[in-house]
Structure 1
Amino acid sequence: MRIGEVAHQAGVSVRALRYYEEQDLLHAERSSGGQRQYPDSAVDRVHLIQQLFAAGLPSRAVREVLRCVYSGTVEPGLLDQLESERARISERITGLVAARERLDGVIATTRNPPPECTHARVLGAPARSAAPS
């Protein structure tokens, strides 16, 4: 597959694919004309790379995880690193869930404010006073 095809199917930019190659996360063969040729598995690999980056792993850790995934072996010390990353991700998830619940509360209160509350006060803006007579 050519670089444009992989980019399109994976939903990433060509620039991202070049970056993944620079970071030794993705590999392509070169045609006689110098064009990159990726295996069909490249799209799935790009999706995994994106998931790992979205989880906050640095490219060094992503490279190690990819080696494990595709070789089936874990290098010494990597398991501790992965468990540490997993714990960090779990903490982020807990924080994000708490933030979502607070937002849900603000949304619910804004849609159905209690009688003593106005939308303006819920949203943090000063309450509107009655028009002068």
Structure 2
Amino acid sequence: MTVAPPERSAATPARGRLSLFSWLMLALGTFGFAAFWVLLSLAFDRQYHWMAVIGALDIAWMLRLAGWRPGPRRALAALVATVLIVVTANWGIAAGQIGVLMGLDPVASAAKLGPNFFWNLFQLANSGLELVWLAIALAVAALASR
């Protein structure tokens, strides 16, 4: 007796394909966590580099919730999302701190902050232990999302 494979509905994506919902969950997790990190850092006037590790765990959880299949593709997505969290959060923190001095809100300041100035501020704010936290975050993202 043979069993027919279950029929696929329009709501079920093809095997190995990601739906729009999966990509939206990844974007929401990435930029939502970066916004949370920026708000926390600006509220207490500290960088809180350990938040990168929490962000990596959050991304791994979001990828699982969104239905990303285990494997190297999910690990790569987690790595890229973690890097985006770190860059976006550091950009927002730098823009918020500089914007206060110039009388701008963080969003207006972020629009005026150029990549060269951001890179200089990133290098000044991240050294030694801070870079260790960022490296740990990348390792956690790869391991937790596999």
TM-score by length of 1: 0.30
Q: Which has the higher helix share?
A: 2
Higher relative CO (Cα under 8 Å, sequence separation at least 6) belongs to: 2
Higher gyration radius (CA)? 1
